[in-house]
Amino acid sequence: MSAAPTGTITNPFSLPDSEGYTWLKGNLHSHTTNSDGQPSPQERLDGYVGQGYDYLCLSDHHEITRIDTVQAPDDFVLVQGAELHPDNPFGGQRHHFVCLNLSEDMDAEKMPPQHVIDEVNRQGGAVFLAHPHWSSINVMRDVLPLTGFAGIEVFNTTCRCAGRGESSVHWDDWMQQQNRLYPALANDDSHALESARRDTYQGWTWVRVKERTGAAIVAALAAGASYASTGPEIRDIQIRCSDREGDEKTPCEATVACSPAQRIAAISDSTGTEYHQHGELFETATFPLRANSRWVRFEIVDQRGLKAWSNPFDLTGLARA
C-alpha cells in the first residue's frame, strides 16, 4: 500500500440535502475598474447576479475590493478577496494567487510568496494558485517550495482566450510530486464587459454548503466539497468496495453520474487512466479502481467539448486495505 496522500477532500455528493446542504454556483476570479477590469464593481456583480450565480469574488489585482461598496441581493454571497502577486524567487514568472476571504490588504508585491500565503491563512483566508499554465509555472521549481495553498485553478476563461485555459497537467503534477490532494476551481478571471462575450460566464465552481456566507463557501472550497465546470453537471460520485475479506479480485469501483456526456475519464496518479466513450451520449459510468492508485479524479466532457472536473478522491484508506 502506498503512503496516503496528505490533504483531505470531502466528497460533496455525500453531504445530504436532509442535513441542509445545498449547491451554490459561483465565480471566484473577476476584475473591475478597481484594477484592470472594464465594468465597475457594481456592474460586474449585477452581471453575475443576472446570470443566476449564487456567489462571486471581485478579486481585483493587488488590493481588496470591499464587498460593502456594492449592493447584492439578500441571498447572493460576496466573497471578499483579491488577486495578489508576490515575487517568485524560484526563477519563474511573478505569482498570481487568488486569495479568498481576506479582510486586510498587504503589500504582496514586496513580500516573498510564502509570507503572502501565511498572511492570508492567518486572516482565515485561502490561497488558490491561479492559472499556472498561462503563467508558465513549473510546479517543481515554483510551487513545491511553498506550503499552505488551499488549491488550484484548473480552468480560467480569460487564459483560454490565450490558448492556456486548462491547468490540469499542473494539478496532477503537483499532487503527484507532493503526494497531497488539492481541490480545484474553474474561474472566469473576467476583465471585459459581458457584451464582449469573451471572458464571462464560462467557468464556474459548484460548492456544497449549509450556510450562504463567504466564510462557509471558502471553507467548503478548501475542503474540496465542490466541483469545477465549463458546462457539464456532475450529479453523483460514489466509491464502493467489496466487503469480502481478502478478495483480491474485487477491487473498489467508482460510479459517476452526470449530465449527458460523450466521455468520462477516471484519472489517477498511477499510470493508465480509464475512460468511457461509446459514440452515443451517456449519463453514468462505473470504473474499477486500480489497487496501486493513491487517488483518482474524474473529468466529464459533453457533446460540445465542455468539461467538468471533480476533485480527487483518496483511495489509500479504502476498505480493501
Binding site for Zn ion (CB under 5 A): 83, 96, 130, 189
Output 130 or 301, the one with its CB closest to Zn ion: 130
Per-residue b or e along 55-64, where b marks 16 or more CB atoms closer than 10 Å to that residue's CB: bbbbbbbeeb
Tell me which residue has cell 484519472: 267
* Residue 240 Rama label (left phi>0; alpha psi -120 to 50; beta): beta
Cβ closest to Zn ion, residue 81 vs residue 232 = 81
Nearer to Zn ion, 43 or 233 (CB): 43
- Supply φ then ψ for residue 195, to 5 degrees: -65, -20
Q: Least separation, in Å, of the C-beta of 60 and Zn ion? A: 8
Minimal distance, residue 67 CB to Zn ion, in Å: 17
222: left (phi over 0), alpha (psi -120 to 50) or beta: alpha
Closest separation between CB of residue 101 and Zn ion, Å?
17
Q: Answer for the pair 58, 99: CB distance below 8 angstroms, yes or no.
A: no
- Beta bridge pairs of residue 156: 187
Question: Which residue's CB is nearer to Zn ion, number 60 or number 119?
Answer: 60
User: Closer to Zn ion at the Cβ: 83 or 166?
Assistant: 83
Q: Provide the minimum distance between the beta carbon of 93 and Zn ion in the complex, in angstroms, as a whole number.
A: 10
Beta strands 226-229 and 307-310, pairing class: antiparallel
Question: What pairs with residue 234 in β-bridges?
Answer: 258
CB of 65 to Zn ion, least distance (A): 12
Pick between residue 130 and residue 217 the one whose CB is nearest to Zn ion: 130
- Are 180 and 173 in contact by the 8 Å Cβ rule? The answer is no
Instruction: Give the nearest distance from C-beta 195 to Zn ion in angstroms.
Output: 20
Nearest residue to Zn ion by CB is 96
